[in-house]
A = this chain, B = another copy of it.
Amino acid sequence: MNSIGRHLIMTCFGESHGRLVGVVLDGCPAGLPLKEGDIQRELDKRRPGLSELYSSRAEADKVEIISGVFRGYTTGAPICMVVKNLDVDSSVYEEYRFKPRPGHADYPAYVRYGGFNDYRGGGMFSGRLTIAYVMSGAVAKKLLSTIGIEVYAHTVQIGPVKLDRKPTLEELRTKVYASPVRCVDREISEKMEAIIREVKSRGDSIGGVVEGLAFNVPPGLGDPLFGSLDGDLAHLLFNIPAVKGVEFGAGFRAATMKGSEFNDQYVYRGDRVETLTNNSGGILGGLSNGMPISVRVAFKPTPSIAIRQRTVDLREKVDTFIEVKGRHDPCIVPRAVPVVEACIAFTLADHCIGLGLIPKVLGRKS
């Protein structure tokens, strides 16, 4: 249940306020050059900056590679990577133990685990577990780069503010992490920041949308039925906490479209088959069609808000109120961007290994 993938498999462990968050990545081909810096670069994209836009929990999030790498190369053995929790303050959580925070997993987790779950900081349900996804995704991105596949994600909406145009590949490569909200357009980015500041000032939070894109994906990637690329991507993306919707290409807009509008018609560009439009988001029948894969992921507003809300006392069995303290991001979206990126990279790498596009051994050690 805490493992995902068919050929490249990640098994996550750890808790928000426990000792660490970790992942065991199984099935990574041998011979991939890998150092902690490769992982750290991706983790740093997920770290909150020194800004009022983010949580004040000050975690260095330093990765340690525990196994599976020997003298700078992956060995084919499972790669264990961990990030220690250093700045933990669990004091506020005793209050919530029997008073579930609205929008969090507290109540169903209490029922599911009979009260034995680690409720501090959400325990295993915390967004902090996405560190594991990012670590796996970092390895996946290195694997994909050996065959030229590039994966990006960026913020396209925060509350009512939307990026309505398509980003260029150049913007995706250079502008995303230059923006504190991970939006490639400077003006839009500033409006998004303003929204976050505003909701934060009122003790509130806000949702948004992240778009993920993958380029140079060869056609024919994916397996029929339950090994479809979109099914596998959605499966993993919905396991990012706070995700409430996933759509590919035209997505929900497809509902209003006619076949003559939606269908992506084929043409040759030199030897290469392309489509005139990309309403299918690069996936047909669960298989990549050679066009960029595009997926949009809707995030709900951070559930932890300072505003008074109704809740119940599960021990006393009475109605009560709660004001959620602790250190929280007023908008989860900017920090979710590298997580979406990681999930896409992981899923694509899993399929590329499965189809033999990435071999089981990269080169031969001399």
Could you tell me if B11 and A24 are in contact, using CB atoms closer than 8 angstroms?
yes
Q: Residue among A67, A75, A259, A264 with the most chain B CB within 10 A?
A: A259
Binds B, one of A41-49, A53-61, A178-186, A356-364: A356-364
Could you tell me if A256 and B159 are in contact, using CB atoms closer than 8 angstroms?
yes
Binds B, one of A137-145, A146-154, A163-171, A244-252: A244-252
Number of copies: 4
14 intermolecular pairs with C-beta atoms under 8 Å apart: A1-B27, A2-B24, A3-B226, A4-B225, A14-B66, A15-B67, A70-B118, A159-B258, A207-B254, A207-B257, A252-B252, A259-B307, A268-B317, A356-B359
Partner of A317, one of B1, B79, B271: B271
Partner of A108, one of B18, B222, B234: B222
Given A234-B246, A301-B259, A116-B361 contact (CB < 8 Å): yes
**Chain B residues, CB < 8 A from A15:** 67, 70, 75, 77
Known: A104-B284, A114-B364, A268-B317. 16 other contacts (CB 8 A): A1-B9, A3-B3, A3-B9, A18-B70, A31-B113, A100-B266, A107-B273, A108-B288, A125-B224, A157-B255, A207-B256, A234-B237, A244-B251, A244-B281, A245-B251, A280-B300
A189 at interface by CB-CB < 8 Å: no
Contact residues, A280-297 vs B (CB, 8 A) = 280-281, 284-290
**Chain B residues, CB < 8 A from A117:** 30, 70, 75-77
Could you tell me if A287 and B20 are in contact, using CB atoms closer than 8 angstroms?
no
A340 at interface by CB-CB < 8 Å: no
Closest to A110 in B: B220
A135 at interface by CB-CB < 8 Å: no
Contact residues, A2-30 vs B (CB, 8 A) = 2-4, 6, 9, 11-15, 18-20, 22, 24, 26-27, 30
**Chain B residues, CB < 8 A from A67:** 13-15, 18-20, 22
**Chain B residues, CB < 8 A from A310:** 265-267, 276
Could you tell me if A244 and B249 are in contact, using CB atoms closer than 8 angstroms?
yes
Could you tell me if A255 and B208 are in contact, using CB atoms closer than 8 angstroms?
yes
- Minimum CB–CB distance from A259 to chain B (whole Å) comes to 4
Bin chain A's interface residue count.
35 or more
Closest to A218 in B: B111
A110-143 vs B, CB cutoff 8 Å, 1 = contact: the mask equals 0111111110001111000100000000000000
A298 at interface by CB-CB < 8 Å: yes
A271 to B1 alpha-carbon distance, docked (Å): 31
Could you tell me if B2 and A224 are in contact, using CB atoms closer than 8 angstroms?
yes
Could you tell me if A118 and B255 are in contact, using CB atoms closer than 8 angstroms?
no
